[in-house]
Chain A
Amino acid sequence: MSQDGPLLALHGVSFAYGSTPVLHDLSGEGAGRVLAVLGENGAGKTTLLRLLCSQSVPGSGWLEVAGWDSRNRRGVRDYRARLGVVPQRLDLASSFTCEDVLRYACWLKRVPTARSRDVVATSLARFNLSDRARSKVSTLSGGMRQRLVLAQAVVNDPDVVVLDEPTVGLDPKQRVELRGYLAEMSQSCLVVLATHLVEDVAALADHVLMLEDGRVGHWGDLRSFCESAGVAVAEGATGAGPSGTELEAAFLRRAADRGVDS
């Protein structure tokens, strides 16, 4: 990505729903290629993602994502044109075909009409849905639907893709398949992923943003996350990062240190 600033930076970001504070003075920067946002239920993951998706505005502080400064509201449309989102819940119209869904996404994202036909075909092929182009959403399996949701997120060739619990409800085979697509996506854009599943983090992420009660508990690469919890990371033959077991141990230890019953 050609830009001057960091991929992601938070500057004293706070947010509250009415009188209920959710995020407290979040600061830090850096993201790697895949940033996993971790935290217990209610830690503020979804709220942070809403801020990253420009759906909400920080109560105080600001954030920078891929060159967009949240204080620049006039630039929000251009930022959204470079953004892909996979919401936690998106029930696509069951009577739409896969092509209809992607064409609709092209319209939402202002993909030029002249390009939309090629974009739809390319996106279907990228997520192995070409043979289901004319199939209605109601006839797709859970895994195919999730691939279609991923496909709609990238029709605009985004610089940033934000995913909220993308593997929830998928069986193990579908999860592995989905991770493959996400890994491929991360080659061309920043992927921000909120998840409960440590195995997803181990397989995909290179950085972790741990939220604890609306505060930054840790922000860094996976190794530093484990080390911050006192979990030693075994050196693999390939020099890979921490394993899922090690990450899970680090996650549980941090929770235990804070007195949280996981």
Chain B
Amino acid sequence: MSGSAPPREGPRWTAWPRVLLTEAVHGVPLLVGILVVAVSLLVTAPQRGFPPVWSNTLYYGTFVVVFVAPLVAGGAAVLSQQRLRRGWLEWAASTPRGARSVLTTGTAAVILWGVLALLAGFCTVLLSRPPGGAPTPAGLLLPLTATTMVVAAGLLGGWLGSLTTNPLLGPALALATFGVPNLAFYLRVDNAERAWALWLEPFPLDFSYTAVTEPNAPRWVVVLTGLLAAAVVLALVLRGRDRTAIVLGVGLLGLTVIATTQVDGSEVVRYQAAPTDPVCGTSADIAVCVWPSEQADLPVLVDAVDQVHDAAVPVLAQVPTTFVQPGLDLTTVPASAVPPGLVELFAPYDATTAAGAAISAVLPPPPCENDDTAIAEYSRVGSLVALRAGYGDATEDPDLATTIGLPDGAQRQWVTQRLDAAARACA
């Protein structure tokens, strides 16, 4: 017996990747890994119907985080509970690395699978619809946020699992992680004034900006990257101490809150990339131009837009005759007196979806986006056009039900009143 600590030969950190790998291919982490990768592939494989630009590739590739993060949270909780029950914490507590080491390594293995699942989803989208051009630095916000969410979810689960052995924790945490953002999303959609709903939405369903748009938030990329780097540096400084996981977890949760509450829709701009060869389809009255990748679905889209166009012309002052998907070079599409309507169309390409996109495209731009009264009045115009085109239901709006039965001239007058009311509300 030496009576002193064994000499430390070589770098201490080299053993950790191997331990992490061992953890990842056994037990709960492996089961979670199989599940999240399968879910990721199932969710991303059918994605289609969007212009293959980097913003969309990144969006659809990382959207799976809304499914992956809950599974990572639940899996990490179950693994920590298992270790608590099986005496691993007591075992590790008498070693130099301490009790938390078996929790953090196990949690890291689960998180690793979560990040791999994101990568799998991203690669699936990338390979099935190779994007043109190059991603912008601002586009990195999506994968950065998604990765942060997975790490934060894993740390949260791992930490909660170390506090209780209640078998309901894992499933409850997974459900809550999935359900709370859904609830917050619908609260927020129903009433834009419910800003507090944002705080319930750690995993935003729409990432606060939609597909076919590019985040114009480079400053947030800088902020998030900086905070992430700071958290990592702090974790390295505190490496091996009990506070590491707590500091890192709190830091990443803070990042998530910032990312989801501060990067909002007002930060986005239209993607400006221009393809060289849009594909157009025409009817007697209209032309629809889409990305070459959407050519197969063009007939359905032309029929739907034509139907909506015919329904809108008698009641709207100006209706576009040319409709384009966002991002097309407008100099290459048929000229029209009225500015082209933007058709934002996502899979699936059925008639109803296409009609919904067409209705949005025929309406004039909304006078503003932050007034409930204006939004309501504007929406009623869209509802009238939908009814005229054979879609929708007027039973919930008696005024609309009456209006749809009036002659075209009276309906046109009603539409003008609604749009004027919306403009006044915005003013």
Contacts and interface: CB of A to CB of B under 8 A. Distances in A.
A95 B101 CA distance: 20
Nearest to B85: A91
Given A95-B26, A103-B18, A85 B1 contact: no
A53 interface: yes
B396 interface: no
Nearest to B7: A112
Contact of A83 (B10, B11, B12, B94): B94
A113 to B, nearest CB: 5
Interface stretch (A13-21, A74-82, A213-221): A74-82
Interface in A1-18: 1-3
B263 to A, nearest CB: 39
A114 B10 contact: yes
B4 interface: yes
Contacts of A260: none
B27 interface: yes
A214 B94 CA distance: 22
B4 A110 contact: no
Nearest to B95: A108
A110 B94 contact: no
A78 B5 contact: yes
B88 interface: yes
A106 interface: yes
Contacts of B91: 85, 87, 90, 108
B268 interface: no
A55 B86 contact: no
B94 A53 contact: yes
Contacts of A96: 22, 26
A104 B91 CA distance: 12
A187 to B, nearest CB: 10
Contacts of B30: 95
A104 B22 contact: yes
A210 interface: no
B269 interface: no
Contacts of A91: 85-87
Contacts of B206: none
A60 B19 CA distance: 38
A76 B276 CA distance: 68
Nearest to A90: B87
10 contacts: A3-B3, A53-B93, A55-B94, A78-B5, A107-B97, A108-B95, A110-B8, A112-B7, A112-B12, A162-B94
Interface of A: 1-3, 53-55, 66-67, 77-78, 80-83, 85, 87-96, 100, 103-116, 156-157, 159, 162, 188-189
Interface of B: 1-12, 14-16, 18-19, 22, 26-27, 30, 85-88, 90-97, 101-102
Given A80-B96, A89-B87, 13 more contacts: A67-B3, A81-B5, A89-B90, A90-B90, A91-B85, A93-B26, A95-B27, A105-B95, A107-B97, A108-B101, A113-B11, A114-B10, A116-B15
